Amino acid sequence: MSSNLTVSPTSARTVHAVSTAAHLVVAIALGALAVAQASILLPITLSVPAGAAIGTFARVDFAAAAAIVVLIGAAVHAALALTAAGESDAVRPRLLQLVAFAQASGITLFLVAQLNGVTEAGALILVYAFGGGAAGLLWLQARETGDRLQARWPFSFGAGLAVVPWGIVALYQVVALIAGAPPAPIVRVLTVVVLLIAVLAWWVERRWQLGLTPVPRAALLHSALSLANGIALLVLAAGLARPSAIL
């Protein structure tokens, strides 16, 4: 795997610069929806142990929150574009990408869960924690660059944890379908799209760790998947802004 650790500073800088620009375009579009108040507001509810429901005590602007997800990717790629010229170890930029991936995963799952009917604050916190924490274990996998046997443990535990929040989302979606009040079609479709993007991201990281995917290609694929996730969130925000999308 060591033969894949050296990447041309010029090409790496170009990839990160282009990725930064693409992420910023998506983030600006999401920000425009939020500023124009065209975004939907997702409720957060809370029930106390005594049984008295506090009800909705906060709301999340979907477009604004989605813009933060995309801006995380933009910030990381901007930083990598500025430091690529003096960077000889390609593993360290990958570690930074994975930190961003963990944060973006947690927020994305939080939003997807809300769209699928999860409103209880406690459940949403767990969804965020499991989503971000599971992806964070990929960072530990990436650090074990010299021992693939050791690297499989954080990946395996992370993959196991990553199933939990998606299981919660699936539970709420299935129950809603049975009850005859399913999420909007655009939500159901793009929930699957976001899930597939997450699965592909995990697959790319594992192939990189096993030495089957070169570092530059893994970084490029990770950037593409991060951008695809942002575009999916943008489509959701724009689609749900139209009344016909929620019927």
This prediction has a pTM of: 0.87
Which runs of consecutive H residues, i.e. helices, occur in 144-214?
148-179, 185-209
- Most confident stretch, 18-27, 81-90, 129-138: 18-27
Average pLDDT over residues 147-171: 83
| pLDDT band at 63; cut points 50, 70, 90 | very high
* Residue 162 to residue 112: CA distance in whole angstroms: 14
pLDDT of residue 86: 47
pLDDT of residue 149: 63
Q: In terms of Cα–Cα distance, which of 23, 26, 20 is closest to 63?
A: 26
* Residue 177 to residue 3: CA distance in whole angstroms: 51
- The distance from CA 244 to its chain's CA centroid, rounded to whole angstroms, is 27
pLDDT of residue 117: 92
H-run or E-run covering 21: helix 9-35
Q: For 233-245, how does the pLDDT look when each residue is reduced to its tens digit (9 = 90+)?
A: 999 999 888 755 4
Task: Assign 3-state DSSP to the chain and report helix, strand, coil percentages, each to 5.
Answer: 75, 5, 15
pLDDT of residue 214: 83
| pLDDT band at 3; cut points 50, 70, 90 | very low
pLDDT of residue 56: 77
* Residue 225 to residue 231: CA distance in whole angstroms: 10
- What own/partner pairs with CB < 8 Å and gap ≥ 24 does 108-113 have? 108/69, 108/194, 108/198, 108/229, 108/233, 109/165, 109/166, 109/169, 110/65, 111/42, 111/60, 111/62, 111/65, 111/66, 111/69, 111/233, 112/169, 112/191, 112/194, 113/165, 113/168, 113/169, 113/172
Average pLDDT over residues 64-87: 85
Q: Which CATH architecture has domain 2-246?
A: Up-down Bundle (1.20)
